[in-house]
C-alpha cells in the first residue's frame, strides 16, 4: 500500500499513549487505548494489502501470494522481537531468580511462537506473578495480531472465491465484526480476562479497520474535521478512562471509532504531519517492544526517585528503539527470510530456533539455580505447593462455591474440641502450622477461600461467591458451636472495620475462644527474588532479616489489634513474632536447607507457618 503519513502519525500517538500509561504518568490513566488504535490500523492495512492481492492474482497464484503475505509479516515482526528476547534472556542470567528466569523462558517461547496471549491468560490466577513483573507481557497484542494475520487471508480468500467483488468483502467483514463485538461484550461481563486476551474477542477492532478500507476506497478528500473529532475522542479517552473496569467493553467503541474516523478522513494535518510525530511513528514498533521491559526493570529496582527513574526509562526506550530501528528493522527487510527460498532463507531462521531452544533448556533446568552461591542455590530450589493449603478442597479458588468444601471438618470429633480456621488465603497459610502444633485432644475445621475475608453479609467486588461462602460458615458455626475460632485475612485489602460484626456474631453464639491474627509481612516483590537478587549481585550469604523491601502495614496491624482488644478477644501480631527493628525474618534453616518465610510476596511457607504458630502460644491454654 502507498505510505500514508497520517497513519504513521496515528501510530506515533498510539505508542506514545501506551508508553505514558505503562510508565504510570497519571494524567494518561487510559493510555492503554493505544493498543486498540494499533489494532484498527493493522486491520486497515492488512485488508488493503490482501484485497490488492486477491484482485491481481489467479486461483493458481493466490496461494503463493498468501505465503508472501505471511513472510512479509514475519519480516516486519520477528527480527526486532527476536533481538528483544535474546537481550532479555542474556540479562536475566545475571539478574533473575531461577523461578523468574524459568518463567521468562516460558514467555520467550510463547512470544516467538505467537501464542503469548494464551499463555498470559492461563497464568491469570490469584497466585500468579503480578502483571507488572512479566517482562514480555506486552507481546500479547503481537500474538493477537499474528493470529489475526493467519486467519484474515483465508477468510477473505473464501469470500473472494464465492463472490469476486469488494461489496461481498465489506458485507462479510461487517458480519464478522459484529459477531466478534457481541462475543467481546459477552466475555467482558462473564470472563473479562478472556475478553482481554482472546483473539476472537479482539478481532472486531481489527475488522473495524478493514471496514474503513472498503468504505474509504472511493474517498479522495481530506476530511480534517473528522480527523480532529477522532483525535479529540482519543485524547479524552486516554485522560478519562482507567483500569478500574474490564477492558475491552462497550466503551471501547469510542477509541476504535475515533481511529476509524482518523484513517477514513485521509487528512495530512498538524495532528500527524510534524517531524517529531513522523519520527516516532517510524519507530513505533521498536518503541513498543522496548518500553515495557524497561518499565518492569524500574519496578524491580524499586528506585528512590520514581520520577527520575521514569525519565531514564523513557530515554532508554527511545535510544534502544533507535538502535533497533536502524540496525534491525530496516536491515531485516532485506536479509531476513529472503523470497528465493535458498540457503539464506533457512539460515535466517537459525537465530529464532536457537533462542527458542535456549528457552526450553532454561525451563528444563528450572532457571539454573546453580548460578547462585551455595546456600542461595538451595533456597532457589524451594518450591511451594498449594496442596498444603488443601487447595480446592478447604481453600476455595475464586470460581468455587461453598458447596465445594469437602471433608474440611474432623469427622466424629466433638465440635467443642474443634478449632475453626476462617478467612482468605492468609487464613489458609496458617493451616500447616496449626496442623503441626495442634494439641492431641483437638481437631481443626478449615473454611477458607481466595480473596474472601471472614465478614458476614459483605460483598467482595471480585469474589462473587464470597458472601455465600461466609453465610455458609456462619450457619455452620450456629449449628456446630466450635470451641475455638481463628480469624485471619489480608486485612489491608478490605474494609476491616467489618471485623467488628463478625466478632459480635461469634460472641453472640457463645464461642468461648476467639483468636485474630494480624497482617503478615508484605514484601514489595517475591521474597525469594529479593534474597537471590541480593546474593547474586553482591555474592554474599542470604540476608537473615530485611526491611527495605517491606511494605508498611502498621496502620492495619494497629487497627486489627484495636478491634480485637475492644471485643476482648485474643490478638496475635505476626509482625511482632517475625519482625524486629532490623527487619523481618527472611528464611528458616532446615535440615533440607534454607526455606523462605514467604513463598511469594505475602503468604507464609509451611515452615514459617509452623514457626509462627509455635511462637504464638495460642495452644498453651486448653479447653
Q: Is residue 599 in some structural domain?
A: no
Instruction: State how far the Cα of 246 lies from the Cα of 520, in Å rounded to an integer.
Output: 30
Q: Which of the listed residues 371, 406, 431 is the one where a domain comes to its end?
A: 371
What parts of the chain have a pLDDT lower than 70? 1, 125-129, 217-220, 302-304, 341, 411-413, 621-623
Q: For residues 363 and 494, state if they share a domain.
A: no
Condensed to tens digits (0 to 9), the pLDDT of residues 299-308 reads: 777 666 788 8
| Enclosing domain of residue 449 | 386-521+552-583+606-616
Q: Is residue 537 in some structural domain?
A: no
Q: For residues 312 and 406, state if they share a domain.
A: no
- Rounded to 5 degrees, what angle do the CA atoms 4, 7, 9 make? 110
Q: For residues 84 and 50, state if they share a domain.
A: yes
Q: Which of 554, 534, 555 has its CA nearest to residue 545? A: 534
In this prediction, residue 608 carries a pLDDT of 96
Answer for the pair 266, 230: CB distance below 8 angstroms, yes or no: no
Q: For residues 466 and 512, state if they share a domain.
A: yes
Q: How many CB atoms lie within 10 A of CB 273?
A: 14
In this prediction, residue 411 carries a pLDDT of 52
What single DSSP character describes residue 497? Answer: G
Q: For residues 359 and 394, state if they share a domain.
A: no
Q: Is residue 380 in some structural domain?
A: no
Q: For residues 323 and 459, state if they share a domain.
A: no
Q: Which of 414, 487, 475, 478 has its CA nearest to residue 446? A: 487
Judging by DSSP bridges, how do beta strands 443-449 and 418-423 pair with one another?
parallel
In this prediction, residue 333 carries a pLDDT of 81
Q: For residues 342 and 401, state if they share a domain.
A: no
Q: For residues 226 and 302, state if they share a domain.
A: yes
In this prediction, residue 127 carries a pLDDT of 53
CATH number for the domain harbouring residue 396:
3.40.50
**Total tally of structural domains belonging to the chain:** 2
Q: Which of 95, 85, 29, 21 has its CA nearest to residue 297? A: 95
- Whose grid coordinates read 480527523? 227
Give every CB contact of residue 66 below 8 A, 6+ residues apart in sequence.
Answer: 53, 153, 154, 157
Q: For residues 194 and 230, state if they share a domain.
A: yes
Q: Is residue 621 in some structural domain?
A: no
Full-model pTM: 0.84
In the numeric block, which cell numbers belong to residue 79? Answer: 527480527
Q: Is residue 534 in some structural domain?
A: no
In this prediction, residue 130 carries a pLDDT of 73
Q: For residues 362 and 405, state if they share a domain.
A: no
Q: For residues 465 and 569, state if they share a domain.
A: yes
Backbone angles phi, psi at 411, to 5 degrees: -70, 140
Q: For residues 357 and 455, state if they share a domain.
A: no
Q: Which of the listed residues 322, 341, 371 is the one where a domain comes to its end?
A: 371
In the numeric block, which cell numbers belong to residue 97? Answer: 531468580
Say whether 138 sits in a helix, a strand or coil. Answer: helix
Q: Is residue 206 in some structural domain?
A: yes
Q: Is residue 232 in some structural domain?
A: yes
What single DSSP character describes residue 542? Answer: P
Amino acid at each position: 500500500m502507498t505510505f500514508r503519513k497520517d497513519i504513521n502519525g496515528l501510530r506515533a500517538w498510539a505508542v506514545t499513549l501506551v508508553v505514558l500509561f505503562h510508565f504510570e504518568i497519571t494524567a494518561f490513566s487510559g493510555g492503554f487505548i493505544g493498543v486498540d488504535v494499533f489494532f484498527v490500523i493493522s486491520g486497515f492495512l492488512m485488508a488493503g494489502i490482501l484485497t490488492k492481492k486477491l484482485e491481481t492474482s489467479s486461483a493458481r497464484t493466490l496461494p503463493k501470494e498468501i505465503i508472501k503475505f505471511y513472510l512479509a509479516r514475519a519480516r516486519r515482526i520477528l527480527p526486532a522481537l527476536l533481538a528483544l528476547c535474546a537481550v532479555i534472556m542474556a540479562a536475566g542470567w545475571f539478574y533473575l531468580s531461577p523461578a523468574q528466569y524459568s518463567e521468562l523462558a516460558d514467555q520467550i517461547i510463547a512470544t516467538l511462537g505467537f501464542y503469548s496471549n494464551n499463555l498470559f491468560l492461563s497464568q491469570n490466577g490469584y497466585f500468579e506473578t503480578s502483571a507488572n513483573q512479566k517482562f514480555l507481557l506486552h507481546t500479547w497484542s503481537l500474538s493477537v495480531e499474528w493470529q489475526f494475520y493467519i486467519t484474515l487471508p483465508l477468510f477473505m480468500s473464501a469470500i473472494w472465491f464465492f463472490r469476486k467483488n469488494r461489496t461481498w468483502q465489506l458485507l462479510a467483514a461487517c458480519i464478522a465484526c459484529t459477531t466478534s463485538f457481541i462475543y467481546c461484550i459477552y466475555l467482558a461481563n462473564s470472563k473479562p480476562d478472556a475478553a482481554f486476551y482472546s483473539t476472537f474477542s479482539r478481532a472486531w477492532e481489527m475488522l473495524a479497520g478493514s471496514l474503513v478500507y472498503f468504505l474509504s476506497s472511493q474517498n479522495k478528500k481530506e476530511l480534517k474535521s473528522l480527523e480532529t473529532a477522532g483525535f479529540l475522542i482519543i485524547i479524552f479517552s486516554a485522560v478519562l478512562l482507567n483500569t478500574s473496569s474490564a477492558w475491552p467493553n462497550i466503551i471501547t467503541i469510542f477509541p476504535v471509532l475515533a481511529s476509524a474516523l482518523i484513517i477514513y478522513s485521509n487528512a495530512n494535518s498538524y495532528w500527524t504531519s510534524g517531524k517529531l510525530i513522523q519520527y516516532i511513528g517510524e519507530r513505533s514498533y521498536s518503541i513498543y517492544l522496548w518500553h515495557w521491559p524497561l518499565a518492569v526493570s524500574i519496578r524491580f529496582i524499586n528506585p528512590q526517585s520514581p520520577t527520575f527513574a521514569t525519565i531514564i526509562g523513557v530515554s532508554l526506550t527511545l535510544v534502544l528503539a533507535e538502535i533497533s530501528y536502524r540496525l534491525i528493522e530496516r536491515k531485516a527487510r532485506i536479509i531476513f527470510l529472503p523470497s528465493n527460498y535458498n540457503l539464506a532463507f533457512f539460515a535466517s531462521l537459525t537465530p529464532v530456533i536457537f533462542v527458542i531452544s535456549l528457552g526450553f533448556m532454561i525451563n528444563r533446568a528450572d532457571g539454573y539455580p546453580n548460578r547462585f552461591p551455595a546456600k542461595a542455590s538451595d533456597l532457589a530450589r524451594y518450591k511451594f505447593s498449594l496442596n498444603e493449603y488443601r487447595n480446592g478442597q478447604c481453600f476455595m479458588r475464586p470460581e468455587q462455591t461453598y458447596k465445594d468444601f469437602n471433608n474440611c471438618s474432623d469427622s466424629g470429633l466433638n465440635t467443642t474440641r474443634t478449632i475453626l480456621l476462617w478467612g482468605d488465603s492468609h487464613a489458609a497459610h496458617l493451616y500447616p502450622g496449626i496442623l503441626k502444633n495442634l494439641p492431641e485432644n483437638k481437631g481443626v475445621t478449615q473454611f477458607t477461600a481466595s480473596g474472601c475475608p471472614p465478614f458476614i453479609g459483605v460483598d467482595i467486588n471480585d469474589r462473587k461467591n464470597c458472601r455465600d461462602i461466609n453465610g455458609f460458615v456462619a450457619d455452620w458455626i450456629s449449628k456446630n458451636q466450635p470451641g475455638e475460632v481463628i480469624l485471619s485475612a489480608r486485612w489491608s485489602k478490605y474494609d476491616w472495620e467489618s471485623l467488628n460484626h463478625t466478632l459480635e456474631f461469634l460472641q453472640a453464639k457463645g464461642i468461648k475462644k476467639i483468636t485474630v491474627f494480624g497482617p503478615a509481612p508484605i514484601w514489595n516483590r517475591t521474597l525469594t527474588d529479593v534474597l537471590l537478587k541480593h546474593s547474586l549481585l553482591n555474592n554474599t550469604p542470604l540476608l537473615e532479616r530485611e526491611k527495605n523491601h517491606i511494605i508498611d502495614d502498621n496502620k492495619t496491624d494497629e487497627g486489627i489489634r484495636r478491634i480485637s482488644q475492644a471485643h476482648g478477644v485474643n490478638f496475635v501480631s505476626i509482625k511482632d513474632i517475625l519482625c524486629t527493628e532490623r527487619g523481618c525474618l527472611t528464611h528458616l534453616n532446615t535440615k533440607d536447607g534454607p526455606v523462605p518465610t514467604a513463598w511469594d510476596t505475602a503468604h507464609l511457607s509451611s515452615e514459617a507457618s509452623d514457626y509462627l504458630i509455635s511462637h504464638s502460644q495460642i495452644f498453651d491454654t486448653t479447653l
